[in-house]
Amino acid sequence: MNLVFLGPPGSGKGTQAIRLAEKVGLVHLSTGDVLRAAVKVGTELGKKAEGFMTRGELVPDDLIICLIEEKVASGDLKSGFILDGFPRTMPQAESLTDMFTKNKIGLDKAILLDVGDAEILKRLKGRAEIEGRADDTEDVIKNRLEVYRKQTQPIEDYYRGQSILVAIEGEGTPDAIFERILKVAG
Ligand code: ADP
């Protein structure tokens, strides 16, 4: 099974994607995690990405598409995967479709975790206090939400058009949300 997880920052997609990957045996690939690790170690990619990330902007498409191309070429995703945080722009979504076509990979579902802005702001402010992530300050959070609505939300329609979008109510307890996801992807 090959899945893409979509949802605004703070929608819980990372948490749920990890849980589902473990339960059904899929590779979990989070572009946010890969980028944060690259920044920490100080690789070329990390140096290029850091400024965009602290401002709550998206890292340029060419950098991130390159990263995903490497993963697809490595064969690591062969036995099923969950992409978390990619695609995030229409050019990324279209390149992903091309990569999949070339490598004969089928995308089964795009799972959207639907959460309203008020709930998102509340959750991210809570996470900022606990984890101290550099991009969880109030202004940056608002910017990330705006970026999501403008640049990422159009992807929902793109996958809806391919009849693979599944929207899941993303408010409630983590367990309740996981149950909803298992019903469509378990
Ligand atoms: P969140 O979903 O909470 O915003 P992520 O961990 O998915 O957090 O991403 C953190 C940051 O990493 C983003 O704000 C962005 O700067 C960068 N990033 C992650 N994935 C992508 C992507 N596909 N394209 C561009 N930038 C990305």
| Closest C-alpha among 95, 103, 101 to residue 78 | 103
Known catalytic residue at 36:
no
Question: What is the average pLDDT value for the chain, to the nearest integer?
Answer: 94
List the single range of 67-81, 88-102, 129-143, 172-186 with lowest mean pLDDT: 129-143
Top pLDDT among 129 and 40 is at: 40
**How many angstroms separate the alpha carbon of residue 98 from the centre of ligand 1?**
21
Residue ranges around ligand 1 (CB below 6 Å):
9, 31-32, 35, 52-53, 56-59, 64, 85-86, 88, 92, 135, 144
Q: Specify the CATH architecture of the domain 2-185.
A: 3-Layer(aba) Sandwich (3.40)
Delimit the domains of the chain by residue range.
2-185
Compute the distance between CA of residue 49 and CA of residue 139 in angstroms, rounded to an integer: 19
Per-residue confidence band for 128, with pLDDT thresholds at 50, 70 and 90: confident
pLDDT at residue number 129: 77
List the single range of 7-16, 117-126, 129-138, 149-158 with lowest mean pLDDT: 129-138
Crossing angle of helices 31-41/44-55, nearest 10°? 120
Tell me the two tokens of residue 109: 């579902």
* Residue with CA at minimum distance from ligand 1 atom 6: 32
Alpha-carbon 113 to chain mean position: 11
Residue ranges of alpha helices (H) inside 25-84 are 31-41, 44-55, 61-74
Per-residue confidence band for 28, with pLDDT thresholds at 50, 70 and 90: very high
pLDDT 10s digits, 36-58: 999 999 999 999 999 999 998 99
pLDDT 10s digits, 133-143: 777 788 888 88
pLDDT 10s digits, 79-94: 999 999 999 999 999 9
Q: What is the mean pLDDT of residues 168-182?
A: 96
Asked if 39 and 50 count as a contact pair (C-beta separation under 8 A), the reply is: yes
Known catalytic residue at 48:
no
Instruction: Work out which ligand 1 atom sits closest to the CA atom of 88.
Output: 23
CA dihedral sign, ordered 93, 53, 139, 5: positive
